[in-house]
Amino acid sequence: MSGASVELTADELSAVAAQMAGAGVDLAGPLTARLIAGGRSNLPFRLDDGSSAWVMRTPPRAGRTPSAHDVAREYRVTSALGATDVPVPPAVVLCEDESLIGGPFAVSGFVPGVTVQTAAQLDGLVDGLDGGHGGGHDGVHDGGHDGGLVSGVVTALASTLAALHRVDHVAVGLERFGRPDGYAARQLKRWSGQWEIVGEAFAGSVKSSAAALVSALGDRLPRQESTGVVHGDYRIDNTLLTIPGAAGQAGGEAGGAPTVAAVVDWELSTIGDPVAAVAMMCVYRHPVFDQVIGEPTAWTSPRLPDATGLAAAYEAAGGVPLVDLDEHLALGYLKLAVIAAGIDHRFRAGATSGAGFDTAGQAVPVLLEEGLAVLRG
């Protein structure tokens, strides 16, 4: 897989097969590979041997950053969580020898499920199963979002996140996966420092908002009363869902409760304050997130509950107490603003390819102001 190519050669597939065989996988035949659409950081390939399927993830050959493309980190956390109540793809093998296919790679078992990334996919799913009536027998919407199916999906997402936060990270072998204390202070230092690199091109008023938010957060750092595994990027499009009655879903009767089949994309995971993860999930609900991604996303859809509703669903699922949630929300808005500024920075430098990168910069001032508004109450 050389240069910009995203195809695996026969020799590379043989090397992957040898690693899988060494991990105890009994392959039924030669491997084939197909790139799975939707990977935003690492490249996901579906591997098949004519009988079974797996997923291999490997970093892109160009534009790699250690934190955003860390397949070894992802493999470590999913391996540790495999015996818990948190649904993750079963870990198969990790290979950090970059000479085999041009980069490290991790293989996991293939988990069938529904992926919901865009607003159109969510609309199609809901309308297809609920007949456009939001899932209720009388078609009445509940709390401003579609009932039935959507409420079930939200409950499943919240319950899974709460289950993750109940995991004893030390007991599952993740005691060295991240520093347990001082999470918010480290996050503020990291993202304010990153802003100094990527925020230079913005107007003075935007820089003033960033400085004000950083200063305010320095004075109001959220307390940390819980410690656990933080996914770092938790929302609907980083899960695989089981939805009885949906196309391609086996088992269960239509109308049955949705469940999370697997949580994916763990590259940003660490040990920290679980409340920060809930806050970030809520921050992603802001409509301006569409500008960061470059298309209408499922997670900003009005069919889903607002941030307050998501936090309430998490609490109802038995998650950790949401101590200093407002301060965590403000920190989340700063983080997303810096991420958007980074996308804009790369776009201005001509380091992006494809569509959807030209709107990220527009989101930055909105996100910074939202962070300040949360702290003002």
Co-location of 56 and 182 in the same domain: no
pLDDT bucket at 59, cuts 50 / 70 / 90: confident
Co-location of 186 and 293 in the same domain: yes
Q: What percent of the chain has pLDDT over 70?
A: 87
Domains in the chain, number: 2
Q: Are strands 259-263 and 239-242 parallel, antiparallel or unpaired?
A: antiparallel
CB 329 within 8 A of CB 279: yes
Please tell me the distance from the alpha carbon of residue 308 to that of residue 315, in angstroms, as a whole number. 11
The CATH number assigned to the domain holding 345 equals: 3.90.1200.10
Co-location of 75 and 188 in the same domain: no
Please tell me the distance from the alpha carbon of residue 267 to that of residue 37, in angstroms, as a whole number. 18
pLDDT bucket at 326, cuts 50 / 70 / 90: very high
Average pLDDT, integer, range 156-169? 98
Q: Quote the pLDDT of residue 198.
A: 95
The CATH number assigned to the domain holding 16 equals: 3.30.200.20
Q: Of 109, 135, 151, which residue is a domain's last?
A: 109
- Residue 1 domain flag: no
Q: Of 50, 81, 109, which residue is a domain's last?
A: 109
Average pLDDT, integer, range 207-232? 97
Average pLDDT, integer, range 313-325? 98
Strand, helix or coil for residue 52: coil
Which residues have CB under 8 Å from 241's CB, separation 6+?
113, 114, 115, 116, 153, 156, 258, 259, 260, 261
- Residue 269 domain flag: yes
Number of Cβ within a 10 Å radius of residue 267: 23
Domain that holds residue 61: 10-109
pLDDT bucket at 293, cuts 50 / 70 / 90: very high
Give the highest mean pLDDT range of 19-23, 37-41, 243-247, 253-257.
19-23
CB 11 within 8 A of CB 29: no
Helices (H), 23-108: 71-81
Q: Quote the pLDDT of residue 204.
A: 97
The per-residue pLDDT of the chain, averaged, comes to 89
Residue 294 scores a pLDDT above 70: yes
* pLDDT one-digit tens code per residue, 62-121: 544 444 458 999 999 999 999 999 999 999 999 999 999 999 999 999 999 999 999 999
Residue 6 scores a pLDDT above 60: yes
Q: Of 109, 131, 153, which residue is a domain's last?
A: 109
Q: Quote the pLDDT of residue 214.
A: 98
Residue 184 scores a pLDDT above 60: yes
Q: Quote the pLDDT of residue 79.
A: 97
- Residue 258 domain flag: yes
Please tell me the distance from the alpha carbon of residue 199 to that of residue 196, in angstroms, as a whole number. 6
Q: Which of 8-12, 78-82, 122-126, 348-352 has the lowest mean pLDDT?
A: 348-352
- For the entire predicted model, the pTM comes to 0.88
Question: Which amino acid, 237?
Answer: D
CB 300 within 8 A of CB 145: no
* pLDDT one-digit tens code per residue, 128-150: 775 543 333 222 233 344 558 89
Co-location of 318 and 250 in the same domain: yes
Co-location of 90 and 143 in the same domain: no
Q: Quote the pLDDT of residue 130.
A: 55
